[in-house]
């Protein structure tokens, strides 16, 4: 097995998932301001240190995705974050896309930027300790969206990124995210997700990307957040699996879901429901930002005296999602954890 295959498999090792701690400065500023935290560089560093130094977190995490600023930062004792992770046996990753920009001549749609100079950036990130990478494309549903134009342009860019990542020896996480804002039905969500995945794997294939050395990070298939009724957990699990079975090659070692703004416990319940329907050709796991971090950020609120409570809240969500990977999550487990934390 080559190094890329090994890294990809290590990222979806039994019981472990990925923390996305790679919010851009603009995104983390929005999240901090929503809970009254000053959006300074030092607060961003202190917050990421809190997450990465949570006791025993390596039992539940295989990897952490960092942002450009974060991969260059250090813990209070001077240890660079990538080294701190490596010492715990957690693989450091890096978000390399530069965000979604308006797609020309496509009203309301976006294309993800960041390909220019990417080969040189990969070299630098590899030197800083990164072993895997992430690139996110987004598609919205509504009217004639997502257009084929948006789907194929983003698929092409995702595959160009993935090929460059593998050339540099980093495992690419490819993230085609169909957004759940709006009143659309779960069927519309399934159709859009299937179209995005079909285009993505066509481009990955044509651009010679090795499926065994990548991970897919998709949205779960939900009804839109403004739909009259949310879908049941069974419907989410069945629709999501149906889309994956139709469009994702069995050679892909793992599917690591994003949480996409679902309530924290829903993201856990949905992962658990899919695990219970296994075994599947790919490992199913998590790569959440909000659904792992929200209670921790609230508990911390920017205060040093909030660090321990925040770490307990973070470890709790990581433990619950680790259990969900095995189909072992339950309301009772959720409550026990809350009582003991």
- Using the rule CB under 6 A, which residue among 44, 48, 131, 136 binds ligand 13P? 136
Q: Does 258 sit near ligand 13P (CB under 6 A)?
A: yes
Min CB(42)–ligand 13P separation in Å = 23
Give the residue with the Cβ less far from ligand 13P, 136 or 325: 136
The reply to whether 175 belongs to the active site is yes
- Using the rule CB under 6 A, which residue among 162, 260, 282, 311 binds ligand 13P? 260
Q: What angle do CA 239, 232, 271 make, to 5 degrees?
A: 65
Q: Which stretch binds ligand 13P (CB under 6 A): 120-128, 181-189, 221-229, 258-266?
A: 258-266
Give the residue with the Cβ less far from ligand 13P, 101 or 251: 101
Min CB(1)–ligand 13P separation in Å = 27
Number of residues that bind ligand 13P (CB under 6 A): 10
Min CB(77)–ligand 13P separation in Å = 28
Query: What is the DSSP secondary-structure string of 75-142?
Result: -TTS-BHHHHHHHTTPEEEEE----EEEPTTSTT-EEE---TTHHHHHHHHHHTT--EEEEEEEE--B
Give the residue with the Cβ less far from ligand 13P, 217 or 319: 217
Taking CB under 6 A as the criterion, which residues in 264-303 touch ligand 13P?
288-291
The reply to whether 16 belongs to the active site is no
3-state secondary structure of 216: strand
Query: What is the DSSP secondary-structure string of 248-293?
Result: S-TT--EEEE--TT--HHHHHHHHHHHHHT---SSEEEEEESHHHH
Helix pair 264-276, 233-247: axis angle to 10 deg = 60
**Cβ contact 241:223 at 8 Å:** no
Q: For the chain, first and last CA: distance in Å?
A: 40
Give the residue with the Cβ less far from ligand 13P, 96 or 237: 96
Q: Does 188 sit near ligand 13P (CB under 6 A)?
A: no
- Using the rule CB under 6 A, which residue among 12, 19, 20, 174 binds ligand 13P? 20
Give the residue with the Cβ less far from ligand 13P, 95 or 312: 95
Helices (H) and strands (E) in the chain, counts: 13, 10
Let me know if 207 is exposed, middle or buried by CB neighbors in 10 A (0-12, 13-18, 19+).
middle
Instruction: Catalytic residue, from 109, 175, 188, 203: name it.
Output: 175
For 168-263, where are the alpha helices, taking DSSP H only?
186-206, 233-247
Return the bridge partners of 97, or none.
Answer: none
- Residue 279 preceded by cis peptide, ω within 30: yes
Q: Does 259 sit near ligand 13P (CB under 6 A)?
A: yes
Give the residue with the Cβ less far from ligand 13P, 174 or 190: 174
**Contact positions toward ligand 13P, by CB under 6 A?**
20, 136, 175, 258-260, 288-291
Catalytic residue set? 175, 217
């Amino acid at each position: 097995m080559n190094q890329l295959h090994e890294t990809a498999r290590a990222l979806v090792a039994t019981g472990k998932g990925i923390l996305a701690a790679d919010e851009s400065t603009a995104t983390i500023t929005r999240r901090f301001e929503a809970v009254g935290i000053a959006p300074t560089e030092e607060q961003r560093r202190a917050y990421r240190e809190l997450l990465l130094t949570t006791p025993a977190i390596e039992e539940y995490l295989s990897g952490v995705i960092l942002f450009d600023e974060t991969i260059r930062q250090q813990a209070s004792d001077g240890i660079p974050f990538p080294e701190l992770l490596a010492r715990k046996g957690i693989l450091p990753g890096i978000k390399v896309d530069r965000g979604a920009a308006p797609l020309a001549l496509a009203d309301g749609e976006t294309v993800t930027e960041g390909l220019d100079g990417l080969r040189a950036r990969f070299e630098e990130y590899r030197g800083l300790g990164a072993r895997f990478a992430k690139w996110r494309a987004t598609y919205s549903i509504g009217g004639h969206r997502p257009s084929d134009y948006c789907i194929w342009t983003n698929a092409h860019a995702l595959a160009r990124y993935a090929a460059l990542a593998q050339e540099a020896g980093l495992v690419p996480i490819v993230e085609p995210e169909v957004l759940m804002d709006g009143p659309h039905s779960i069927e519309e969500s399934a159709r859009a997700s299937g179209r995005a995945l079909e285009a993505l794997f066509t481009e990955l294939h044509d651009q010679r990307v090795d499926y065994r050395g990548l991970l897919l990070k998709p949205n779960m298939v939900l009804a839109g957040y403004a739909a009259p009724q949310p879908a049941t957990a069974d419907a989410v699990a069945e629709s999501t699996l149906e889309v994956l079975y139709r469009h994702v090659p069995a050679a892909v070692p793992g599917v690591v879901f994003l949480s996409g703004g679902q309530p924290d416990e829903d993201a856990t319940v949905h992962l658990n429901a899919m695990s219970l329907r296994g075994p599947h050709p790919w490992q199913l796991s998590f790569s959440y930002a909000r659904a792992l971090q929200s209670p921790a950020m609230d508990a911390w609120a920017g205060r040093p005296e909030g660090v321990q409570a925040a770490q307990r809240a973070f470890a709790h969500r990581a433990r619950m999602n680790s259990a969900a990977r095995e189909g072992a999550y339950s309301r009772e487990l959720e409550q026990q954890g809350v009582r003991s934390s």
